[in-house]
Amino acid sequence: MKAGLRFGSEGLRSAGKRPPVLLAAFLRDDGGYTTVAVAVALLVSFTLVFSAASSEWALARAAEVQYVADAAAMAGDNCVAGFSTIVQVVDACVLSMGLAGSVALGAGLVLSTVPLMAPVAKAVIQAGNGMLDMRRSFSTSAAGGLRHLESALPALVAASSASCISANSQGGIEYVGCAVPFPLASETDYSFLQDELSGEEMTKQAEKLQEVSARKAAAHDRADKSKERAWKADNIDDPACMRTRAASLAGLAGALNPFYTSAASWRFDYARLRAKNYYVTRLRNETPQTEKIEEAVRSAARERFYRYAARVIGQAVCQEDGATAMVDLPELPHTTEMVRASELYVERVWPCTLESEGPTLHGSSACPAAQGAALGLSCLADIDSGQLRRCPVCQMDAAAMGNVADASTNISNGFEHYWRIVVEESRVYQQAMQEVQQDEDKLKKLGHEGSDTFERAIELLRAIRPQFKPAGSYGCVAVVKRAHSAITPQELSTGFSSAGKLPAGMAISAATLAPEATSDGSNVLSQVFSGLVSSMDFGPVEVANQVSSLWGDLLVDYGSAYADVNADAESFLDGVGSLFGEKVASWLRSRMVAVVKAAGFEPADMRARKPVLVHTQQVLDEAGGGRQALSVARELLSSLPAGGDEAARMLADKLSGLLGSPSVTVAEIELPSGKTIPLTVDISKFWKKR
């Protein structure tokens, strides 16, 4: 090897000089490097390499404390994330159970207004109460379970972060520290878990609705049966009817005497019109059948009876519109007492003469006993009052008038016999329909009361929404230090580089929770529901399945797609079954759908939370009093043992003392079957430091 000419021996010789004595040890006379020069160069190179490696190791280890602090902050905040998921699931269960139970009870109220649906109504109400009972026991246990777990959350954060720090103690470097949640204490109000939501009032209202509805149905049944009997008396021979007697006795046919095929298409007014046509025709055709005076008197009485019947029947009120009825058909007089109670008794239509025995009333002016002077017209009432005497020949009086329709009313081939049946059944029908209307009014009143109760229940669920603020809701601050000075690894401590020490160091980091945009949490709620639905027992299988399905829909839709909750409730109310044209039921169902829609439940953010690193000052400022908060973290750190493993073990023991078990029961769901399903959290990985 040759040295550069400028500074080599040749350069010196050309200058007429010899190399200095000190350089002669490194440079040969021929210009090359000596062995000493090469050895020194190698020694310097190795020294630089190992020195650089030691420096790199020291720098890397010095920075690693910050990475450990970051990991510790995220490990601690991950516990807060887990707790947030738990409270979201609890809130979802409580709200969805309340909605499902209330909507089921609302459907039960609707069904209670429909008589034929009473058994289904009772089953749905039983299922709704079962859901609310399950909610009540769940809420009570959840209130205690969440408080218990949340009280230990700071210790859980510390234990989790200390475990993470201990796991990073390797390569001869030991770290110690933990994360501190801010705020340190919970500020959550759990009163929403113990509200006054109950199905007792709606159950009592449903029972009243069922009672009134059954009474209304019975009255409606009486009305229908009465109407059918009247229809038969008007149309169906048994052995005869008004229709066939009108055809036989008056020759009525066609539109004046129609046939109605069923009671459903028949009205009482149709019988009234037939009777009016019948008596008008009989009046028009009435003539004495013989020339005898007795027949003349009877014909005169029949004429008065037909005229009276045609008038009062023609004036009768007979209205039906399906929901209400006003039927007031007159009963035709066929006894003396009935004649005296009618206008026939006071009509001044009978001729009177002054006979030697005194003023006398005759049934006809052709009566042979009418020999005296005519006194004009008088009424049958004057005979009973003593003002007139009855003619001994024609014998016209109230009794004679009553005999006109007596026989035809009391035998089965008389027109008046079937008319009397129609009149009697019309009164039964009218009374029954009045009761139907009264019960309908009561149903409306009870329906309004039930709707108001349902609205209060929904408002209670909407108004009391939880604001969870557990320890660590602002974030977690981790403080980590190297427990003692670290010595350079033996591999780097050689003759080329002496062993060095890395001084103790400290780092601080903070993490807070941020939602994952790609997750809505519905899968968690689906898993909760699938684990419970198989054990549901709310009564009849079909009803239990419907109510359970409603709860499942509401539970899963609790998340960011919560607008579907309105649709779930509406769908269940719309599917309560046929309402058979019941106005109160239809109104009540529409009203309840409107109540749920108007409640405007805000979507619950069920996106999964994950820890993200943030500036420490952000968490401290959120907690208020940054220095004071940081001093809390430092005090906690100073209270820890010098070793990372010892610190993790101490914090795990503290957590054990607070919780008492590695499996914490957050809440219990008591199913209608009596089976209890616990919702537990396993924290065994922090239970003992291995």
Among 1-10, 114-123, 450-459, the range scoring the smallest mean pLDDT is 1-10
User: Could you give the percent of the chain with pLDDT greater than 70?
Assistant: 71
Nearest Cα neighbor of 31 from 53, 56, 57, 5 is 5
Instruction: Give dist(CA 122, CA 4) in Å, integer.
Output: 111
Among 41-50, 401-410, 527-536, the range scoring the smallest mean pLDDT is 527-536
pLDDT at position 230 is 97
Please tell me which residue, 466 or 103, carries the higher pLDDT value.
103
The domain limits of the chain are 52-195+464-686, 335-397
pLDDT of 428-447, one tens digit each?
999 999 999 999 999 999 98
Please tell me which residue, 292 or 55, carries the higher pLDDT value.
292
Could you tell me the pLDDT band of residue 8, with boundaries at 50, 70 and 90? Answer: very low
Nearest Cα neighbor of 576 from 172, 153, 106, 175 is 106
Is the confidence at residue 629, as pLDDT, over 80? no
pLDDT at position 483 is 62
Residue 421, token pair as written in the block: 């049946």
**Mean pLDDT across the stretch 27-51?**
63
Could you tell me the pLDDT band of residue 482, with boundaries at 50, 70 and 90? Answer: confident
Round the average pLDDT of the chain to a whole number and report it: 79
Among 502-506, 523-527, 609-613, the range scoring the smallest mean pLDDT is 523-527
pLDDT of 359-406, one tens digit each?
999 999 889 999 999 999 999 999 999 999 999 999 999 999 999 999
Is the confidence at residue 601, as pLDDT, over 50? yes
**DSSP for 459-475, written as a single string:** HHHHH-------TTSSE
Contact 474, 623 (CB under 8 A): yes
**Mean pLDDT across the stretch 253-272?**
95
pLDDT of 289-342, one tens digit each?
888 999 999 999 999 999 999 999 999 998 887 667 889 999 999 999 999 999
Instruction: Give dist(CA 452, CA 205) in Å, integer.
Output: 11
Could you tell me the pLDDT band of residue 174, with boundaries at 50, 70 and 90? Answer: confident
Is the confidence at residue 231, as pLDDT, over 60? yes
Among 146-160, 204-218, 250-264, the range scoring the smallest mean pLDDT is 146-160
Nearest Cα neighbor of 409 from 400, 401, 418 is 418
pLDDT at position 577 is 56
Is the confidence at residue 6, as pLDDT, over 50? no
pLDDT at position 644 is 60
Instruction: Give dist(CA 655, CA 642) in Å, integer.
Output: 19
Nearest Cα neighbor of 262 from 300, 292, 236, 243 is 236
Is the confidence at residue 568, as pLDDT, over 80? no
Residue 179, token pair as written in the block: 């994360």
- Packing angle between helix 564-574 and helix 35-112, nearest 10 degrees? 30
Instruction: Give dist(CA 497, CA 238) in Å, integer.
Output: 130
Instruction: Give dist(CA 443, CA 451) in Å, integer.
Output: 12
